[in-house]
Protein backbone atom coordinates (compact mmCIF):
# COMPACT_ATOMS: atom_id res chain seq x y z
CA UNK A 1 0.00 0.00 0.00
CA UNK A 2 2.92 2.28 0.65
CA UNK A 3 3.90 1.93 -3.01
CA UNK A 4 0.34 2.71 -4.11
CA UNK A 5 0.25 5.90 -2.04
CA UNK A 6 3.70 6.86 -3.33
CA UNK A 7 2.37 6.64 -6.89
CA UNK A 8 -0.60 8.81 -5.97
CA UNK A 9 1.73 11.25 -4.19
CA UNK A 10 -0.10 10.89 -0.86
CA UNK A 11 2.60 11.79 1.66
CA UNK A 12 0.44 11.45 4.77
CA UNK A 13 -0.60 7.87 4.09
CA UNK A 14 3.01 6.95 3.29
CA UNK A 15 4.11 8.41 6.62
CA UNK A 16 1.36 6.58 8.51
CA UNK A 17 2.27 3.24 6.94
CA UNK A 18 5.97 3.69 7.65
CA UNK A 19 5.28 4.57 11.30
CA UNK A 20 2.95 1.59 11.67
CA UNK A 21 5.51 -0.76 10.13
CA UNK A 22 8.22 0.50 12.47
CA UNK A 23 5.93 0.21 15.48
CA UNK A 24 4.89 -3.37 14.68
CA UNK A 25 8.48 -4.47 14.07
CA UNK A 26 9.45 -3.43 17.59
CA UNK A 27 6.77 -5.60 19.21
CA UNK A 28 8.03 -8.69 21.06
CA UNK A 29 5.05 -10.78 19.86
CA UNK A 30 3.49 -11.20 16.45
CA UNK A 31 0.40 -9.00 16.05
CA UNK A 32 -2.56 -11.18 15.06
CA UNK A 33 -5.70 -9.26 16.07
CA UNK A 34 -7.15 -5.83 15.57
CA UNK A 35 -7.17 -5.17 19.32
CA UNK A 36 -3.45 -5.96 19.54
CA UNK A 37 -2.76 -3.57 16.67
CA UNK A 38 -4.86 -0.83 18.26
CA UNK A 39 -2.81 -1.09 21.45
CA UNK A 40 0.27 0.05 19.52
CA UNK A 41 0.91 3.79 19.42
CA UNK A 42 0.60 5.13 15.88
CA UNK A 43 -1.90 2.54 14.66
CA UNK A 44 -5.48 3.69 14.30
CA UNK A 45 -8.73 1.95 13.52
CA UNK A 46 -8.28 1.65 9.75
CA UNK A 47 -4.68 0.45 9.92
CA UNK A 48 -5.66 -2.06 12.60
CA UNK A 49 -8.39 -3.38 10.29
CA UNK A 50 -5.82 -3.81 7.55
CA UNK A 51 -3.37 -5.57 9.85
CA UNK A 52 -6.05 -8.05 10.88
CA UNK A 53 -7.09 -8.58 7.26
CA UNK A 54 -3.51 -9.35 6.25
CA UNK A 55 -3.09 -11.78 9.16
CA UNK A 56 -6.37 -13.58 8.39
CA UNK A 57 -6.16 -13.72 4.60
CA UNK A 58 -2.42 -13.33 3.98
CA UNK A 59 -3.19 -10.45 1.64
CA UNK A 60 -4.80 -7.03 1.55
CA UNK A 61 -7.98 -6.39 -0.41
CA UNK A 62 -6.62 -3.00 -1.44
CA UNK A 63 -3.76 -4.73 -3.24
CA UNK A 64 -6.27 -4.84 -6.05
CA UNK A 65 -5.74 -1.09 -6.39
CA UNK A 66 -2.93 -1.96 -8.80
CA UNK A 67 -5.42 -3.51 -11.19
CA UNK A 68 -7.79 -0.56 -11.32
CA UNK A 69 -7.69 1.00 -14.80
CA UNK A 70 -7.35 4.57 -13.49
CA UNK A 71 -4.26 3.54 -11.55
CA UNK A 72 -2.64 1.68 -14.44
CA UNK A 73 -2.95 4.66 -16.78
CA UNK A 74 -0.54 6.86 -14.83
CA UNK A 75 1.80 3.86 -14.52
CA UNK A 76 2.02 3.70 -18.31
CA UNK A 77 2.60 7.44 -18.44
CA UNK A 78 5.24 7.24 -15.71
CA UNK A 79 7.21 4.98 -18.02
CA UNK A 80 7.81 7.97 -20.31
CA UNK A 81 11.22 9.52 -19.68
CA UNK A 82 10.98 12.63 -17.50
CA UNK A 83 7.31 12.21 -16.58
CA UNK A 84 6.37 12.33 -12.91
CA UNK A 85 3.15 11.89 -10.98
CA UNK A 86 2.08 15.49 -11.57
CA UNK A 87 2.39 15.35 -15.36
CA UNK A 88 0.78 11.90 -15.56
CA UNK A 89 -2.16 13.18 -13.50
CA UNK A 90 -2.53 16.21 -15.78
CA UNK A 91 -2.68 13.98 -18.84
CA UNK A 92 -5.24 11.80 -17.12
CA UNK A 93 -7.34 14.89 -16.31
CA UNK A 94 -7.11 15.89 -19.99
CA UNK A 95 -8.65 12.50 -20.83
CA UNK A 96 -5.56 10.95 -22.40
CA UNK A 97 -5.82 7.22 -21.78
CA UNK A 98 -3.19 5.60 -23.98
CA UNK A 99 0.37 6.37 -24.97
CA UNK A 100 -0.92 6.63 -28.53
CA UNK A 101 -3.25 9.45 -27.38
CA UNK A 102 -0.22 11.33 -26.14
CA UNK A 103 1.68 10.80 -29.39
CA UNK A 104 -1.18 11.97 -31.58
CA UNK A 105 -2.95 14.63 -29.50
CA UNK A 106 -0.82 15.95 -26.64
CA UNK A 107 1.63 18.82 -27.13
CA UNK A 108 4.94 17.02 -26.53
CA UNK A 109 8.51 18.22 -26.86
CA UNK A 110 10.85 16.42 -29.22
29, 73: one domain:
no
User: Per residue of the chain (110 residues), what is the pLDDT tens digit?
Assistant: 666 666 666 778 888 888 888 888 899 998 889 999 999 988 889 889 888 888 888 877 765 555 555 556 677 888 888 888 788 888 888 888 888 888 888 887 75
Give the rounded distance of the alpha carbon of 91 from its chain centre: 19
11, 45: one domain:
yes
56: domain CATH number is 1.10.150.110
- Expressed as residue numbers, the domain containing 8 is 2-65
Would residue 15 count as lying in a domain? yes
72, 54: one domain:
no
Structural domains of the chain, count: 2
Amino acid sequence: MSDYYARTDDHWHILAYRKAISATRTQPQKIVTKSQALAIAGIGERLADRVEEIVCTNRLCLENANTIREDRIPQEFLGVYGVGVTQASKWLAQRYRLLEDLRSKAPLTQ
